[in-house]
Amino acid sequence: MKGRPGFRLIILILLLLAGLAPGGVWAGEFSLARFNDRLADAGIDYRGFLDLRGGWRVREPVDERHTSLGEARLQLDIDYDLGWVVGKFKGDLFADAVERSSGGTIREAYLLGSPLDFADLKVGRQVLTWGTGDLLFINDLFPKDWKSFFTGRENEYLKAPAEAARLSLFFDVVNIDLVYMPRFNPSEYINGQRLSYWSPLSGDTVGRDHGLRDHGRNSWFSEDEVAVRLFRNFSGLEAAFYFYDGYWKTPEGMKADGRVYFPRLRSFGFSLRRDLFGGLANLEAGWYDSRDDRDGDDPMVRNSEWRFLVGFEHELGDDFTGSLQYYLEVIQDYDDYRDSLPPGMEKRDEYRHLLTLRLTRLLLRQNLILSLFAYYSPSDNDAYLRPQISYKLTDNWLIFAGGNLFYGAEDYTFFGQFESNSNLYGGLRYNF
């Protein structure tokens, strides 16, 4: 469904559903409770929300609209428990005023069961997460949606779903997660649609008129991905080893035709997490083996890298939490990278240092939440701030506002390139 009539239709459906929702005009508490009980007896659980939000750029856009976000979204999340297996469906209907589109997306649709006493199997479209970083990912190479993250959609949209089979095996010595994705699931990367970015080829910030086009990897079973985790909890110390074999999730390579592609990637890593000094500490590391540029001398493909992360979280007061992370990216074979770079192209630093700070304060009986997440890179000299305020008017209604603010001394650094995308957003949500 594309275009304006569709948009109006969706709005109409959303309004109708809002009226039908619990506490709405038509449904009495009691009949709805009885209806829900009957569903629960049949093994069916549901929840969902209606969400309206808008966002605006606070700086002059580069080849983009002033509006960064404008959408209505209805989500329905249904669980069906058949005893031997649980079925899940979670889908969104949306109407998007920025990309002038409307339609539906399926976020999750899977079956989950235990074929053996010590094994769980989850098959279908699902959201996958592991690793210890807070909004920093080393060994979590599952798809992300950076567009949603940078424009102010709810946090859950940072994780993009993947079509996968996940087999989890539980033993006394170690637990094993095996994830097979028969077709590559790339991240929703910044490609000029909605958000502008730095184009190394043009040597300039560009937007929707210079949208990146990629050579997709769409072949079932040949362009596939495998992710493995071994993990165990040693009385409070959580340890894990990770392996991934697939492709860079964002297009880190370019072909001669000027189109980008997803080079091959393998990664190995580990993480540790435990309580420490009354707070929580975590450590994670990974080695990215960029298999299409093993020697690091191909300027069109990202080099192999080491990545490290340490974090600490602690209470700062009642209902007030703070956390800090230090993250390091090291480019392998840096000399080869530097020597092979075409003249005129901006060069990355060998070491990219990044600090993050999270502050979360709950007020008014935890109904008012003030939070700030900040990224700051002393080596790139850029930063990204994510302030947010939200208030629960009732158990169902939530209002919120926030920002995605980018700063950079240079136009070509990771966060600096997004400076013109800096935006403020706000909206409301009805949960049912």
Residues of the shown chain interacting with other proteins in the complex, contacts defined by CB under 8 A: 40, 45, 47-49, 79, 81, 112, 120, 126-130, 155-156, 158-159, 168, 170, 175, 231, 233, 236, 238, 273, 275, 278-280, 282, 313-315, 318-319, 321, 362, 365-367, 392, 394-396, 398, 431-432
Which residue's CB is nearer to other proteins, number 9 or number 111? 111
Beta carbons within 10 angstroms of residue 112's beta carbon: 17
Radius of gyration for the chain, computed over Cα atoms and rounded to the nearest angstrom = 23
3-state secondary structure 72-136: EEEEEEEEEECCCEEEEEEEEEEEECCCCEEEEEEEEEEEEEEEECCEEEEEEEECCCCCCCCCC
Which residue's CB is nearer to other proteins, number 199 or number 431? 431
- For 317-336, b/e burial (b = at least 16 CB within 10 A) is eeeebbbebebbbbbbbbeb
Least separation in angstroms between CB 401 and other proteins: 18
Which residue's CB is nearer to other proteins, number 236 or number 258? 236
Long-range pairs of 365-370 with CB within 8 A, sequence gap ≥ 24: 366/319, 367/391, 367/392, 368/392
Which residue's CB is nearer to other proteins, number 58 or number 169? 169
Which residue's CB is nearer to other proteins, number 128 or number 206? 128
Least separation in angstroms between CB 27 and other proteins: 14
Least separation in angstroms between CB 303 and other proteins: 30
Which residue's CB is nearer to other proteins, number 220 or number 320? 320
Least separation in angstroms between CB 304 and other proteins: 28
DSSP code of 2? B
Give backbone dihedrals phi and psi of 46, rounded to 5 degrees, phi first: -140, 160
Residue 215 DSSP SS3: strand
Residue 41 DSSP SS3: helix
Least separation in angstroms between CB 84 and other proteins: 11
Which residue's CB is nearer to other proteins, number 248 or number 432? 432
Which residue's CB is nearer to other proteins, number 315 or number 346? 315
Alpha carbons within 13 angstroms on the beta-carbon side of residue 74 total 19
Token output for 314: 């602690």
CA distances from 355 to 58, 288, 311, 328, 382 (A): 24, 21, 10, 9, 11
Least separation in angstroms between CB 64 and other proteins: 28
Least separation in angstroms between CB 38 and other proteins: 14
Least separation in angstroms between CB 308 and other proteins: 19
DSSP conformation letters of 273-314? EEEETTEEEEEEEEEEEETT-TTS--TTBPPPEEEEEEEEEE
